[in-house]
Amino acid sequence: MASEPPKPAENLIPSDSNALVQSTNPLHPANLICELCRGFYNLGWVTGTGGGTSIRHHEHIYLAPSGVQKERLQPTDLFVMDYATRSYIRTPTALKPSQCTPLFLAAFDKGAGCCIHTHSQWAVLVTLLVEKASGKEGCFEIEMLEQIKGIARGRGKTGSLGYFDRLVVPVIENTAHEEDLTESLEAAMEKYPDTYAVLVRRHGVYVWGDNWHKAKTMCESLDYIFQLAVEMHKLGLPWTAS
């Protein structure tokens, strides 16, 4: 009877281990992140190396590095973190981890499987319009738009918001360094437990979902709604009936 092959000790895994990021499966998180970032670049969401995407795959977190051209991202550029210990098990040489990492981890701690961060101009403009109308404590609120059906009802709840439901997205203030947003992002998640997105004033938006498919659907739906909201405001049309 053949004996079981020895399990590699964790400290023997090379820090630049390519096995974690190389797969012929297009749905492998390392391939998916590169494909998603190319798409998001073309939408103007991750211009000038801003923004990013992270996917949780079982016990591993896949993260794009800081300061890379998002449309040229390769699977071998990705960092991989062990979710339980928060230690990197793959560190590409000559690249720095993303400053978004603690914010992505905050979403994974809430049960997310994927988190997307964009610097979409529509998201930025909406945060300015909310501040003008409701001050710094105001949320983005809108109702009676078909695309609201693209947003899930809340964690642990079944289905999506309906046409007559009001979509509420909290807004937090920007900070000099991205990682310093973590505390206020977590506070917004606690205060609005049903939200799958948090806007950051003059900066962009964080959107997460149970998996990459849901996160992408909600990020696209929200961006569509943000753009529509800006155009409605320009035309003097209200976002809500009351």
* Residue ranges of the binding site: 100, 117, 119, 203
- Other C-beta atoms closer than 10 Å to the C-beta of 130 total 23
Catalytic annotation, residues: 146
- Which residues does the annotation place in the binding site for Zn(2+)? 117, 119, 203
- And the tokens for 72? 């040229």
- Which residues does the annotation place in the binding site for substrate? 100
Indicate the SS3 state at residue 88: strand
- Other C-beta atoms closer than 10 Å to the C-beta of 209 total 23
| Beta-strand runs (E) in 121-203 | 140-143, 166-169, 171-172, 197-200
CA of 77: how far to CAs of 12, 18, 33, 88, 167, in Å? 21, 10, 11, 13, 36
Question: Helix 101-109 and helix 182-191: axis angle, to 10°?
Answer: 20
- Other C-beta atoms closer than 10 Å to the C-beta of 211 total 13
